[in-house]
């Protein structure tokens, strides 16, 4: 290998090494065409996994609208059977990346479940989940619910009204069972948050003693069911309710087997939801590819929210194809186009039910990561007390706004997006200001995780152990 | 004259030919009714029952699909297939343009043509399943026939192996699958794999499940060769290999093929189950994906797959039967 005629391999290696500098000093890579500061992708053929949920939309859109191809990436999207299979796929390298639960990269990194270094350069969406109860439970709750003037139940519905039903069932020796999608899923934490806010204990995990079922002291027993099977499991009577992403809550309404009682938007306004996960090894081995794929995803997310959701009907049609979500268009449309049907016929506007780009939805905030970590601590998945600093370091290890910023700056330089589309990268700390819009009125400040945990009557805090 | 004719013309056409010649019209019509009329009546009754029952089953995904909806989805699947092919063509054109553009900027680039990353259509899945099942079946047969012959020839070996065979024979593919999956991912590690892991997993599962009927039937066939033939072989002092080729194989062919047909039937059933569970490409995955989708078309699409799976299973079996007829020395044996 001579220096006068650098081979392609050498050239790419150089590109990779100088990637961090590249965003600021494009002149270092004069061999490249003027507009592209990040080199060509090192790996062009990629396979990404997803679960059949509407929040996989950025992946489908980036593929169908050619955003991946614009970046020189040839992407295959593969539906996965469940979150465990999906995570294993990413860890073993069978998948190059995947639509993941926000808790998955965090749990994998801290070694809860399968240990692996997974990072996320891109947050996929805000909100998008709901809690559905079986018809018989709903009928028992209904008489006690506060009503609006038109006779329909007033929202948000708190779990306080579910508590008598749960207590009654438990007293009769018939445990109250609910489904969620994965032990470290947003859904698990949201469901637990909602139940605990209503005085129903959702149970502790005790991994140090080998308990990963999360049923210790539980009033309501939560168990894992893959999202697409939620309605069928509810219909079979195995569970009395579930927390899941769309379209599986709306599906219950259509099938007349259950009633969605609350959306996660009402539990925590604009809560972060799925993320796009890749291994740290992948990001280090293929730095250019990583930036290119984040660029494609950012463009897709923007497309989804553009012109006040004008593209959503088209997105709904794409998602309803059998190789993506595959549910009926009208079911998907319900939540994607700004309304949510609670009881049959009780359709209410929830314009922010699915947010893909507004409110900097795609930026991987450290404070979002820390919230998930606090919930893992609250329910015993993190068995020991951890310092505030530990929370921050872990968040930094997994959430990678630096990679996001590289992609965003490229898009701005190419004129595809404007600086106003993004947070101000010079002053952004990665911590959202304290947020108070939770169903129980508790305020969350990402910089003070331990103080935050002190506020909950139910849940581990301080030096507590199960 | 008559016997000659029936040998040369296929059975289904023979009555027509005879009828045209004016040979006892009544008897020919009778034959015709039995060979063509009755199956059609059976089919019609089935379709009527199906649409009648389907209309009465209300599922959470809407009414159970009747023949009309299923036919409609068959057409829809074909339309999707054609549309996907068009998209693939467009993809390759775009790719070529992109490569040309990049080569202009970056002459060192060694272009690689990427396969179309789109979804496999229903028809692609059929092809995948057929390839998988046939590869699995061929490998299983290559293993099972020689093993069966060896076991069949020696009663000691037979006694030694029989318990093993009996234990493994009834094992469900779904029990093998997790083991196969894990072993394949651990053992099959290459940078540039010739086969997909999912293909290997499905295929090996098929092999493990369809080995046994061929092996057992071959062994039994070998074991029950007429004493006379064995005596002849001994009188002629045939070598072991010649004995096997000249005496053992020809006389055990009917039993071997009985085993092969059983094996192929099992292979096809096992494959669909394995594909469903392992999410590896093929008809099984198609069925599972549609089940997961839970759209109002899903049931009709699954029904299309069910009918196609049945039809392919039937054709595979007929294929084996034709092969058996061709190689069997006893042309008078009734094979059905």
Please tell me the predicted confidence (pLDDT) of residue A295.
96
Task: Calculate the dihedral angle through the C-alpha atoms of B236, B239, B244, B245, rounding to the nearest 10 degrees.
Answer: -80
Beta strand pairing status for A118-123 and A275-279? antiparallel
Cβ distance of B102 and A11 shorter than 8 Å: no
Q: Chain A contacts of B296, Cβ < 8 Å?
A: 328
CA distance B211 to B204: 10
- The strand order across the sheet containing A45-50 reads A74-79, A45-50, A97-100, A275-279, A118-123
Nearest Cβ partner of B185 from A7, A92, A323? A92
Q: What's the length of chain A? A: 466
Kindly state the tokens that stand for A236. 């079979």
Q: Number of helices and strands (H, E) in chain A?
A: 20, 16
- Nearest to residue A176, comparing CAs of A186, A162, A158, A187? A162
- Give the separation between CA B279 and CA B189, rounded to whole angstroms: 20
pLDDT for B251-302, tens place per residue?
888 889 989 999 999 999 999 988 888 878 899 989 988 888 878 888 999 9
Closest C-alpha among A93, A54, A122 to residue A296:
A122
Counting Cα atoms < 13 Å in the Cβ hemisphere of A187 gives: 30
Which residues between 257 and 316 in chain A have a beta carbon less than 8 angstroms from any beta carbon of chain B?
A: 257
Please answer yes or no on whether B279 and A85 come within 8 Å at the CB atom. Answer: yes
Q: Counting Cβ atoms within 10 Å, is residue A82 exposed (0-12), middle (13-18) or buried (19+)? A: middle
Q: Which residue of B has its CA nearest to A329?
A: B295
Helix axes B38-56, B67-105, angle to 10 degrees: 80
Residue A177 phi/psi, 5-degree rounding, is: -115, 140
CB contact under 8 A, A231 and B60: yes
Q: Which two tokens stand for residue B153?
A: 């020839």
Q: What is the mean pLDDT of residues B58-66?
A: 82
C-alpha distance across the termini of chain A, in Å: 61
**φ, ψ of residue A280 in degrees (nearest 5):** -65, -35
Nearest CA in chain B to A39: B106
Residues B23, A297: Cα–Cα separation, whole Å: 76
Q: Which of A5-9, A313-317, B128-132, B238-242 has the lowest mean pLDDT?
A: A5-9
The shortest CB-CB distance from A328 to any of B105, B106, B295 is to: B295
Residue B290 and residue A326: Cβ atoms within 8 Å?
yes
User: Which tokens is A302 given?
Assistant: 């923007």
Instruction: Please list every residue in chain A whose beta carbon sits closer than 8 Å to the beta carbon of residue B83.
Output: none
Nearest alpha carbon to residue B173 among B126, B199, B134, B207: B207
Please indicate whether residue A293 or residue B63 has the higher confidence score (pLDDT): A293
Q: Given this model, what pLDDT does residue A29 score?
A: 40
> A322, B295: Cβ pair inside 8 Å?
yes
Strands A354-355 and A126-127, bridge-based pairing: antiparallel
Half-sphere exposure of A28 (CA within 13 A, CB side): 16
Q: Is A29 helix (H, G, I), strand (E, B) or coil?
A: helix
Q: What is the mean pLDDT of residues B176-181?
A: 86
Closest residue of B to A254, CA-based?
B60
Q: Mark which residues 6-35 of A lie under 8 Å from B by CB.
A: 7-8, 11, 32-33
Chain B contact for A255 (CB, 8 A cutoff): yes
Which residues partner with A131 through β-bridges? Answer: A243, A262
Question: Cα(B96)–Cα(A371) distance, rounded to whole angstroms?
Answer: 46
- Can you tell me which residue has the tokens 């606090």? A374
Q: Tell me the C-alpha to C-alpha distance, in Å, between residue A300 and each of A70, A293, A357, A416, B303.
A: 12, 11, 9, 12, 35
Residues 42-101 of A with CB under 8 A from B: 44-45, 52, 63, 66, 69, 72, 74-77, 79-81, 85, 92, 94
Interchain CB distance below 8 Å, B295 and A80: no
B296 touches chain A (CB under 8 A): yes
Phi-psi region of B294 (alpha: psi -120 to 50; beta: other; left: phi over 0): left
Query: Any chain A CB within 8 A of the CB of B61?
Result: yes
- pLDDT value of position B9: 56
ipTM for this prediction: 0.71
- Rounded to an integer, what is the distance from CA B171 to the centroid of its chain? 19
Chain B contact set for A320 (CB, 8 A): 295
CB A434 within 8 A of CB A444: yes
Contacts of A232 in chain B (CB under 8 A): 60
Which residue numbers in chain A have pLDDT < 50? Answer: 1-36
Rg (CA), chain B: 26
Residues of chain A with Cβ-Cβ distance to B119 below 8 Å are 77, 323
Note the pTM of the prediction, 2 decimals. 0.80
Could you tell me the two tokens for B224? Answer: 């029950």
Do residues B109 and B79 lie in contact, with contact meaning Cβ atoms separated by under 8 Å? no
Q: What is the mean pLDDT of residues B237-244?
A: 86
**pLDDT of res. B327:** 79
- Are A255 and B61 an interchain contact pair (Cβ–Cβ within 8 Å)? yes
Please give the residue that has the higher pLDDT: either B16 or A148: A148
* CB-CB neighbours of A441 under 10 Å: 9
Q: Tens digit of pLDDT for each residue in A255-299?
A: 899 999 999 999 999 999 999 999 999 999 999 999 999 999 999
Chain A partners within 8 Å of B301 (Cβ): 322
Residue A16 burial (10 A CB sphere; 0-12, 13-18, 19+): middle
How much is the pLDDT for A393? 96
The answer to whether A49 touches A55, Cβ cutoff 8 Å, is no
pLDDT tier at B12 (50, 70, 90 boundaries)? low
The whole-angstrom separation of Cα A55 and Cα A354 is 8
Kindly tell me if the per-residue pLDDT of B36 is higher than 90: no
């Amino acid at each position: 290998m001579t220096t006068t005629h650098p081979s392609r391999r050498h050239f790419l290696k150089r590109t990779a090494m100088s990637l961090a500098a590249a965003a600021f000093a494009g002149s270092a890579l004069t061999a490249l065409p003027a507009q592209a500061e990040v080199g060509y992708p090192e790996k062009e053929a990629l396979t990404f996994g997803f679960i059949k949920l509407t929040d996989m939309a950025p992946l489908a859109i980036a593929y169908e609208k050619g955003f991946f191809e614009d970046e020189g990436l040839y992407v295959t999207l593969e539906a996965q059977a469940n979150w465990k299979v999906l995570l294993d796929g990413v860890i073993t390298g069978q998948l190059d990346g995947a639509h993941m639960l926000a808790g998955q990269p965090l749990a994998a990194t801290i070694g809860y479940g399968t240990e692996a270094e997974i990072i996320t350069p891109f947050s996929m969406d805000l909100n998008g989940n709901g809690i559905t109860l079986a018809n018989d439970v709903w009928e028992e709750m209904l008489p006690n619910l506060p009503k609006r003037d038109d006779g329909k139940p007033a929202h948000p519905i708190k779990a306080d009204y579910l508590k008598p039903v749960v207590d009654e069932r438990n007293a009769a020796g018939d445990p109250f069972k609910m489904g969620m999608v994965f032990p470290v899923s947003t859904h698990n934490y949201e469901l637990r948050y909602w139940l605990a806010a209503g005085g129903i204990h959702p149970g502790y995990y005790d991994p140090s003693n080998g308990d990963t079922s999360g049923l210790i002291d539980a009033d309501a027993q939560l168990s894992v069911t893959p999202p697409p099977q939620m309605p069928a499991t509810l219909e079979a009577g195995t569970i009395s309710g579930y927390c899941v992403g769309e379209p599986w809550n709306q599906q219950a309404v259509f099938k007349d087997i259950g009633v969605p009682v609350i959306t996660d938007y009402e539990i925590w306004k604009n809560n972060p939801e799925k993320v796009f996960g890749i291994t740290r090894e992948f990001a280090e081995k293929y730095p250019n590819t990583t930036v290119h794929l984040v660029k494609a995803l950012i463009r897709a997310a923007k497309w989804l929210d553009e012109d006040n959701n004008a593209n959503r009907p088209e997105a709904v049609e794409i998602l309803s194809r059998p190789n993506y979500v595959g549910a009926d268009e009208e079911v998907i449309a319900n939540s994607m186009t700004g309304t949510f049907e609670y009881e049959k016929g009780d359709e209410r506007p929830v314009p922010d039910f699915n947010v893909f780009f507004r409110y900097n939805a795609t930026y991987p905030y450290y404070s979002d990561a820390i919230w998930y970590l606090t919930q893992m601590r609250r329910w015993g998945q993190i068995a020991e007390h951890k310092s505030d600093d530990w929370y921050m370091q872990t968040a930094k290890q997994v959430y990678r706004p630096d990679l996001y910023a590289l992609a965003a700056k490229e898009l701005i330089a190419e004129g595809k997006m404007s600086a106003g589309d993004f947070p101000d990268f010079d002053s952004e700390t990665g911590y959202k200001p304290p947020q108070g819009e939770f169903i129980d009125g508790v305020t969350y400040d990402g910089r003070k995780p331990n103080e935050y945990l002190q506020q909950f009557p139910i849940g581990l805090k301080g030096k507590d152990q199960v | 004259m008559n016997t000659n004719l029936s040998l040369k013309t296929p059975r289904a056409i023979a009555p027509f030919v005879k009828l045209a010649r004016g040979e006892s019209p009544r008897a020919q019509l009778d034959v015709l009714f039995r060979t063509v009329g009755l199956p059609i009546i059976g089919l019609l009754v089935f379709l009527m029952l199906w649409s009648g029952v389907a209309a009465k089953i209300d599922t959470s995904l809407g009414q159970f699909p009747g023949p009309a909806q299923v036919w409609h989805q068959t057409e829809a699947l074909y339309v999707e297939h054609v549309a996907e092919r068009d998209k693939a063509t467009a993809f390759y054109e775009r790719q070529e343009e992109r490569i040309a553009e990049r080569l202009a900027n970056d002459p060192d680039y060694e272009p690689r043509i990427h396969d179309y990353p789109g979804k496999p259509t229903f028809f692609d899945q059929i092809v995948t399943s057929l390839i998988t099942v046939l590869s699995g079946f061929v490998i299983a047969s290559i293993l099972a026939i020689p093993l069966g012959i060896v076991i069949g020839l020696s009663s000691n070996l037979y006694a030694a192996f029989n318990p093993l065979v009996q234990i493994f024979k009834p094992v469900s593919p779904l029990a093998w699958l997790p083991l196969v999956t894990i072993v394949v991912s651990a053992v099959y590690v290459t940078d540039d794999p010739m086969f997909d892991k999912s293909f290997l997993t499905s295929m090996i599962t098929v092999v493990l499940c369809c080995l046994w009927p061929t092996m057992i039937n071959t062994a039994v066939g070998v074991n029950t060769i007429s004493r006379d033939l064995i005596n002849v072989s001994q009188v002629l002092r045939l070598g072991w290999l010649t004995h096997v080729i000249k005496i053992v194989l020809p006389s055990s062919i009917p039993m071997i093929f009985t085993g092969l047909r059983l094996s192929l039937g099992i292979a096809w059933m096992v494959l669909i189950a394995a594909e469903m569970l392992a999410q590896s490409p093929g008809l099984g995955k198609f069925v599972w994906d549609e089940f997961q989708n839970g759209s109002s078309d899903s049931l009709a699409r699954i029904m299309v797959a069910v009918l196609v799976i049945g039809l392919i299973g039937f054709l595979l079996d007929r294929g084996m039967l034709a092969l058996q007829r061709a190689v069997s020395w006893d042309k008078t044996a009734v094979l059905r």
